[in-house]
Structure 1
């Protein structure tokens, strides 16, 4: 009995979903929503593996029914996660989740009971338009429609709300796409029962393909916060990259003016470290500007980054040689006064850092 999705497609998707699930269980399992979403990934990964009936061809009928059961358990967890996302009371949501899980377990038992003749015959439940297939489709699609409707309502509410970032818009759009992809299976089942579609589908690709597509979109969406966490921990997020580029400039400036370095205790997140470095570099520039020659200190037009870097080196040399500072520390007219836009400050300091490393 062949698998419904080619191994060239199925295996990478399964590996990806399993990897995301394992990563999230290890690093993102602290909140109730995260735990429920991780359960969704675990059950859907199992569902995809069971659909690959090449693993145990003799038990293809049983594996297919167990795959349906794993999907039902995933739907129960997804329903609970979306309810919490929609703002349900945590205590009420926890009690409801037990009911969802019990209902999902009961549906698994029902699938196995109804599917007994199919297992004995070695055929797949759903290959024909029997009453058994109709009952199982109803049991599966009612909760799927319910959770899909809830996902759409919550997702549209977030998209229509103000202050949605580009990243959040992409995530919500992907979330809205998942029920649409899953709905392909529903449309094909309805068409089959209505007699509108009688195409030969012995491997139930009409169920498996939307299942793989939906799970892939869900896993890709849930991989985003995991990727952000991993890049932040390894220093490869945006703030970490900026810190590495600023470090040579920060090291030399704070080495010349060590008294401006803020005391640090414990581990500092990349965003906070970047803000500290920006403030300390600014403070160092204010102090070192006092050691510039008089003709440079009175210039009104800010020089280029390369020229300013050379002048700063002169100021560091003058300070280390015991030069006399001027009265008022300032960076106005030299590198521009600090702005209220931290991103603009960081961009200008990054330009200076690039010039600083070009000795």
Structure 2
């Protein structure tokens, strides 16, 4: 890992830091998410400290900072790999504490090894030899993690009928896992031949950049989805906004159909959309007796006009019309087995819904 231009390191660090902070706040519920976030945090700290020490002309300290913080990152990666490979989350939670203790002990030895060697007079060889041993051990663990991740991805890809998104995600993660195995093996061989473990060469530097881009994209996808959900720009949030004028007017006219508020799901767009569709459909049924006769050109616009008239009639206290045996309106009642079609019909009704429908 050679010294990079300061501006380039700052740009990369800011980008990774933004992802890390965003994930800690928005994508941190599952054990998988917490392991990924911890890994990114330790990696970010190692990269920044490595570059800072390198810029100040302390290459040996830079290597030790990178390897020391990398030991903690590797402990979390190993836990993530075991989880993806099928380990029970409850078992992994207990074992992850052990992995973290091993990573912390290894990182401490890496950082303070020279001081301990000088104090105790242990014949552990030169710092370069110590780094080679540490790098070889880390490469072995990295290769094991890559193999576990690759095996998990192959198993998921062989399941019947994976979605296109799942197939692309697992294929990309499979490529990352196989690359970890290959890069760790090549790195170990290079270290054994006396080459610098921190200078991969141009071909591997390009491969590292490509794999980093793929891995960053995979990690950023859940964050992007969380941001979209929080901002209301996901599919369910957009549907809620389009339905809101219709829902507001109908629940104003028929307040008795409003469901009890469930605060545990208040901010979830999917549950909010489901609640809105149920209440709209209930309101349409309650307003049925107040609808005027359809026009000669029935359609969604005519149906919206008639429902708006019925809402005004009920809101102003007019009596319902006598039953006349008319067929059901243009928008069908939402059924549990055809929810997608029912939602599309309600969105068409919301688009045709007249403005100021209850103020005329």
Which digits, 9 at most, give the CA deviation of each residue in 1:209-237, with x for residues without a partner?
Answer: 65565455444433333333333333332
Match of 1:307 among 272, 280, 302: 302
Stretch of structure 1 that moved more, 45-54 or 205-214: 205-214
Instruction: Work out the CA distance in 2 between the residues paired with 1:100 and 1:111.
Output: 16
TM superposition shift of 1:265:
4.6
Residue 283 of structure 2 is aligned to residue 284 of structure 1? yes
1:177 corresponds to? 175
Distance 1:95 1:186, change over 3 A: same
1:3 corresponds to? 3
Stretch of structure 1 that moved more, 240-249 or 252-261: 252-261
Instruction: Say which SS state the counterpart of residue 336 (structure 1) adopts.
Output: coil
Instruction: Say which SS state the counterpart of residue 58 (structure 1) adopts.
Output: coil
Do the aligned residues in 1 keep the contact of 2:139 with 2:185 (CA within 8 Å)? no
Instruction: Work out the CA distance in 1 between the residues paired with 2:24 and 2:18.
Output: 10
1:345 corresponds to? 342
TM superposition shift of 1:45:
1.1
Residue 56 of structure 2 is aligned to residue 67 of structure 1? no
Do the aligned residues in 1 keep the contact of 2:254 with 2:283 (CA within 8 Å)? yes
Which digits, 9 at most, give the CA deviation of each residue in 1:298-329, with x for residues without a partner?
Answer: x8xx9332232222223334443624324389
Give matches, 1:140-151, under 5 Å: 140-151=138-149
Residue 56 of structure 2 is aligned to residue 57 of structure 1? yes
Aligned residues: 339
Do the aligned residues in 1 keep the contact of 2:287 with 2:311 (CA within 8 Å)? yes
Instruction: Work out the CA distance in 2 between the residues paired with 1:64 and 1:209.
Output: 21
Q: Under a length normalisation based on structure 2, what TM-score does the superposition of the two structures give?
A: 0.77
1:44 corresponds to? 43
Match of 2:323 among 311, 320, 327: 327
Do the aligned residues in 1 keep the contact of 2:301 with 2:353 (CA within 8 Å)? yes
Instruction: Work out the CA distance in 2 between the residues paired with 1:286 and 1:93.
Output: 51
TM superposition shift of 1:149:
0.6
Give matches, 1:95-174, under 5 Å: 95-105=94-104, 107-108=106-107, 135-162=133-160, 164-174=162-172
Distance 1:89 1:314, change over 3 A: closer
Q: In structure 1, list runs of 5 or more residues that go unmatched.
A: 117-129
TM superposition shift of 1:155:
1.8
Distance 1:358 1:305, change over 3 A: farther
Distance 1:105 1:261, change over 3 A: closer
Distance 1:192 1:329, change over 3 A: farther
Instruction: Work out the CA distance in 2 between the residues paired with 1:286 and 1:226.
Output: 40
2:118 corresponds to? none
Instruction: Work out the CA distance in 1 between the residues paired with 2:138 and 2:237.
Output: 46
TM superposition shift of 1:26:
3.2
Do the aligned residues in 2 keep the contact of 1:13 with 1:216 (CA within 8 Å)? no
Stretch of structure 1 that moved more, 73-82 or 44-53: 44-53
Instruction: Work out the CA distance in 1 between the residues paired with 2:28 and 2:317.
Output: 56
Which of the pair has the greater relative contact order for Cα pairs under 8 Å at 6+ separation? 1
Which digits, 9 at most, give the CA deviation of each residue in 1:74-117, with x for residues without a partner?
Answer: 1111111222333324564345334433443454466568999x
Instruction: Say which SS state the counterpart of residue 334 (structure 1) adopts.
Output: coil
TM superposition shift of 1:245:
0.9
User: CA-atom RMSD, angstroms?
Assistant: 3.8
Distance 1:182 1:202, change over 3 A: closer
Do the aligned residues in 1 keep the contact of 2:136 with 2:188 (CA within 8 Å)? no
